[in-house]
Amino acid sequence: MAASGSSAGGPAAAEPWQIRLYRHSIKKKETLGAVLRLLPPVAGRRCLEIGCSTGTSSWFLRRRGGDWTLTDFDAAQAASARRLLDADVTLIDGGGLPFPDGSFDVAVGINFLEHLEDDAGFVRDVARVLVPGGAFVATCHEDAPQRPGHRLKRLYGLTAGGAYDLARDGYARGGLERLIAGAGLAVERLESYSGLFTEVVENSLNFAYNRTAARTRAAGNGGGDGGGRFHGDAAPDSEAAFASVGWRYRAYEAAYPALRGVSLLDRLLPFGRGYMFCVRARKPAPVR
């Protein structure tokens, strides 16, 4: 492990800053949990992560085994992932993947489809780099403009055309299934997760951090490289950005148990529809 963790403005911590942040992230835990539920066996297989961000998901995915190739769309976040994982991260764009046909047995992508102008073309390229029988596991937001969670995001300016670099707000279930099928992949399983209470907590925190990051950049105080912003200002993209949060993160750590308690109210609605999708699709194998 190449990275050393540090607290926000405090002494060195036992864990890298990315993992410390994850420990107190309600929705990231739900997202990774959904991915791991749908992830096929990866031991001994060639695996691709599309959009590894600062490396947190990669940290946990690699514990499942497999030979992982990591990519991201944002230079600052890719640099943080390299330091965390002591591994190469290939910088990519929305035009496609720089790998030969049939390079991977499994591909995983977390919350990247909404950012791509040509999402259909990119998913076709994912299918291209998979071997026959290979699996694609991806998460994305639901596009449901009339639901209260989405209305809150719109109020906060966290939808397409707002603070984030989004091409779309998400997908209706049928639209996601058509996107996957159009690439020649067969949907095996599709789950929804992240209920209303989790969305309220998460998007309120994202709004607060987004405003803090904007003020920091306007004041010229650093805290990030001001680079690609592919993932949006929802969380720090570097150790310097994490340290710049200072007392605000310590206050959040103290408030985390209460915020987690609010999110757990979603469990009182066990049949409620979530605001996020996780899908596993398979590239058909040739018929013998």
3-state secondary structure the chain: CCCCCECCCCCECCCCHHHHHHHCCHHHHHHHHHHHHHCCCCCCCEEEEECCCCCHHHHHHHHHCCEEEEEECCHHHHHHHHHHHCCCEEECECCECCCCCCCEEEEEEECCHHHCCCHHHHHHHHHHHEEEEEEEEEEEEECCCCCHHHHHHHHHCCCECCCECCCCCCECHHHHHHHHHHCCCEEEEEEEECCHHHHHHHHHHHHHHHHHHHHHHHHCCCCCCCCCCCCCCCCCCCHHHHHHHCHHHHHHHHHHHHHHHHHHHHHHCCCCCCCEEEEEEECCCCCC
pLDDT category, 230, cuts 50, 70, 90? low
287 pLDDT exceeds 80? no
- Tell me what the mean pLDDT of segment 6-32 comes to: 79
pLDDT score for 14? 75
pLDDT score for 211? 79
pLDDT category, 10, cuts 50, 70, 90? very low
CB count within 10 Å of CB 285 equals: 10
pLDDT category, 225, cuts 50, 70, 90? very low
223 pLDDT exceeds 80? no
Q: Are strands 276-282 and 104-110 parallel, antiparallel or unpaired?
A: unpaired
Least confident of 31-40, 61-70, 116-125, 203-212: 203-212
Return the higher-pLDDT residue of 138 and 288.
138
Give strand pairing partners of 71: 50, 90
pLDDT score for 59? 97
Asked if residues 163 and 230 have their Cβ atoms less than 8 Å apart, the reply is: no
Q: Each residue of 105-149: pLDDT tens digit?
A: 999 999 999 999 999 999 999 999 999 999 999 999 999 999 999
- Tell me what the mean pLDDT of segment 196-205 comes to: 95
pLDDT category, 7, cuts 50, 70, 90? very low
- Tell me what the mean pLDDT of segment 81-93 comes to: 97
Average pLDDT in the chain: 89
- Tell me what the mean pLDDT of segment 56-69 comes to: 97
- Tell me what the mean pLDDT of segment 59-88 comes to: 96
5 pLDDT exceeds 70? no
- Tell me what the mean pLDDT of segment 84-106 comes to: 97
Cα-only R_g, the chain: 18
pLDDT score for 86? 96
Per the listing, tokens 């994912």 go with 126
Give strand pairing partners of 109: 50, 138
pTM of the model: 0.89
How far apart CA 256 and CA 246 sit, in angstroms, is: 16
How far apart CA 179 and CA 171 sit, in angstroms, is: 9
Q: Is the dihedral of CA 90, 94, 99, 103 positive or negative?
A: positive
How far apart CA 58 and CA 66 sit, in angstroms, is: 11
Least confident of 117-121, 201-205, 215-219: 215-219
How far apart CA 111 and CA 86 sit, in angstroms, is: 23
pLDDT score for 201? 96
88 pLDDT exceeds 60? yes
- Tell me what the mean pLDDT of segment 232-241 comes to: 77
Per the listing, tokens 């600052």 go with 76
